[in-house]
A = this chain, B = another copy of it.
Amino acid sequence: MAVSAQNAPSSDEELIRKLVHERVEGIRARDAERAMAGVAADVRSFDVVNPLQNAGAASARRRAEVWFSSFDGPIGVEVKDLHVAAAGGVGFSYAFQRYTGRKRDGGAIDMWVRTTVCYRKIDGAWKITHEHQSVPFDPETGRASLALAP
Contact = CB atoms under 8 A, between A and B. Distances in A.
Given A123-B1, A136-B52, A137-B144, A130 B89 contact: no
Nearest to A139: B49
Interface string A115-150: 010101111000001101011111100111110111
A86 interface: yes
A89 B3 contact: yes
Contact of A130 (B6, B92, B136): B92
A86 to B, nearest CB: 6
Interface residues of A, number: 50
B83 A130 contact: yes
A118 B85 contact: yes
B146 A94 contact: no
A112 interface: yes
Interface in A1-28: 1-3, 5-6
A37 interface: no
A138 B144 CA distance: 9
B46 A136 contact: yes
A107 B2 CA distance: 46
Given A52-B112, A52-B149, A132-B114, A83 B1 contact: no
